[in-house]
Structure 1
Amino acid sequence: MSGGGAGRGDAAVSRRAGAAARAALRTLPGRIRVRQGISRVRVSFWPVVQASLAAGVAYGIATFVLGHSQPFFAAVAAWVCLGFSFDRELRKVAEVAVGVALGVALGDLMVHVIGSGWWQIALVMAISATLARFLDRGPLVTIQAGVQAGVVVGLPASVATNGAVGRWTDALVGGGVALLVALITPGDPRRRIRSLAQEATRELALTLESVARGLRDGDADELAAALVRGRAAEKVLEDWHDVATKSDEIARVSVNRVHRAEITRLAAQAVLVDRAMRSVRVLARRVPATLRSLGMLEEDDTDHRVAAVPLSGGMPAPPTVDPEVDPVADLVVRYAHGVRLLASALGSGTGLAQARDALAEVAHDVDPRSLGEGHWQVQSLVLLLRSPVVDTLEAAGLSPDEARDSLPEM
Structure 2
Amino acid sequence: MARWGRLRPLGLGGSDTTPRPGAAVRAAVGRLRRGWLPVVEATLAATVAWVLATRLVGHPQPFFAPAAALIVLGQARGQRLRRAVEVVLGVAAGVLVADLVVQALGPHASWTVFTVILLTVALAVAVGASSVTVVQAAVSALYLVVVAPPTETLVPFRFVDALIGGGVAIVASLLIDARRPLAPLVAEFRHTFEELAGVLDEIATALDRTDAEAALAALERARHADAGVERLRGAVQAAGEALWLHVRRRQHLGRLRSVESSIRQIDYAVRNVRVLARAAVTLTRGPAPVPPELGAAVRTLAGAVRSAGDALAADLTGQDEIADRHAERADVAALEAVRAAGRLFTPGQTLPLAMIIGQVRATAIDLLRGVGADDDASVLTRVDTAVAGPPD
Q: TM-score, normalised by structure 2?
A: 0.72
Provide the C-alpha distance between the structure 2 equivalents of 1:288 and 1:93, rounded to a whole number of angstroms: 46
Task: Find out whether 1:359 has 2:334 as its counterpart.
Answer: no
Q: Counterpart of 1:406 in 2: which secondary structure?
A: helix
Could you tell me whether the CA contact under 8 Å between 2:211 and 2:284 is conserved in 1?
no
Q: Counterpart of 1:376 in 2: which secondary structure?
A: coil
For structure 1, list consecutive stretches of 5 or more residues without a partner in the other structure: 1-23, 297-321
Could you tell me whether the CA contact under 8 Å between 1:61 and 1:173 is conserved in 2?
yes
Cα shift at 1:142 = 5.8
Provide the C-alpha distance between the structure 2 equivalents of 1:291 and 1:149, rounded to a whole number of angstroms: 61
Pick one of 47, 51, 56 that aligns with 1:60.
Answer: 51
Could you tell me whether the CA contact under 8 Å between 2:87 and 2:133 is conserved in 1?
yes
| 1:392 counterpart residue number | 367
Provide the C-alpha distance between the structure 2 equivalents of 1:199 and 1:40, rounded to a whole number of angstroms: 20
Alignment of 1:254-273 (within 5 A): 258-273=251-266
| 1:108 counterpart residue number | 99
Provide the C-alpha distance between the structure 2 equivalents of 1:382 and 1:99, rounded to a whole number of angstroms: 54
Pick one of 266, 269, 276 that aligns with 1:276.
Answer: 269
Letter in structure 1 aligned against 2:203? V
Provide the C-alpha distance between the structure 2 equivalents of 1:70 and 1:206, rounded to a whole number of angstroms: 53
Provide the C-alpha distance between the structure 2 equivalents of 1:373 and 1:267, rounded to a whole number of angstroms: 39
Alignment of 1:42-61 (within 5 A): 42=34, 46=37, 49-61=40-52
Could you tell me whether the CA contact under 8 Å between 1:48 and 1:85 is conserved in 2?
no
User: What is the CA deviation profile of residues 28-66 of structure 1, one whole-angstrom value per residue up to 9, with x for unaligned ones?
Assistant: 8x99xx99xx79985x75455334312101212333455
Pick one of 39, 56, 68 that aligns with 1:77.
Answer: 68
Provide the C-alpha distance between the structure 1 equivalents of 2:169 and 2:37, rounded to a whole number of angstroms: 15
Q: Counterpart of 1:71 in 2: which secondary structure?
A: coil
Provide the C-alpha distance between the structure 1 equivalents of 2:360 and 2:43, rounded to a whole number of angstroms: 48
Cα shift at 1:211 = 0.7
For structure 2, list consecutive stretches of 5 or more residues without a partner in the other structure: 1-12
Could you tell me whether the CA contact under 8 Å between 2:331 and 2:372 is conserved in 1?
no
| 1:216 counterpart residue number | 208
Task: Find out whether 1:376 has 2:365 as its counterpart.
Answer: no
Cα shift at 1:336 = 0.8
Provide the C-alpha distance between the structure 2 equivalents of 1:91 and 1:283, rounded to a whole number of angstroms: 38
Cα pair distance change 1:294/1:384, threshold 3 Å = farther
Cα shift at 1:127 = 1.4
Aligned identity (percent) is 28
| 1:299 counterpart residue number | none
Cα pair distance change 1:155/1:387, threshold 3 Å = same
Could you tell me whether the CA contact under 8 Å between 1:197 and 1:347 is conserved in 2?
yes
| 2:8 counterpart residue number | none
Cα shift at 1:190 = 5.1
Q: Counterpart of 2:15 in 1: which secondary structure?
A: helix
Cα shift at 1:195 = 4.4
Cα shift at 1:330 = 1.2
Letter in structure 2 aligned against 1:263? L
| 1:26 counterpart residue number | 15
Could you tell me whether the CA contact under 8 Å between 1:68 and 1:162 is conserved in 2?
no
Provide the C-alpha distance between the structure 2 equivalents of 1:177 and 1:242, rounded to a whole number of angstroms: 22
Letter in structure 2 aligned against 1:396? V
Letter in structure 2 aligned against 1:383? G
Alignment of 1:3-402 (within 5 A): 25-27=14-16, 42=34, 46=37, 49-83=40-74, 87=78, 92-114=83-105, 115-131=107-123, 136=127, 139=130, 145-157=137-149, 160=150, 165-178=156-169, 181=172, 193-241=185-233, 244=236, 258-291=251-284, 295-296=288-289, 325-347=291-313, 349-350=316-317, 351=320, 352-365=323-336, 366-367=338-339, 370-371=343-344, 373=346, 376-377=349-350, 378=353, 381-398=356-373, 399-402=375-378
Q: Counterpart of 2:61 in 1: which secondary structure?
A: coil
Cα shift at 1:362 = 2.9
Q: TM-score, normalised by structure 1?
A: 0.69
Cα shift at 1:217 = 0.7
Cα pair distance change 1:84/1:41, threshold 3 Å = farther
Provide the C-alpha distance between the structure 2 equivalents of 1:185 and 1:213, rounded to a whole number of angstroms: 41
Could you tell me whether the CA contact under 8 Å between 1:363 and 1:406 is conserved in 2?
no
Cα pair distance change 1:130/1:388, threshold 3 Å = same
Coordinate RMSD, CA, aligned: 4.3
Provide the C-alpha distance between the structure 1 equivalents of 2:138 and 2:300, rounded to a whole number of angstroms: 56
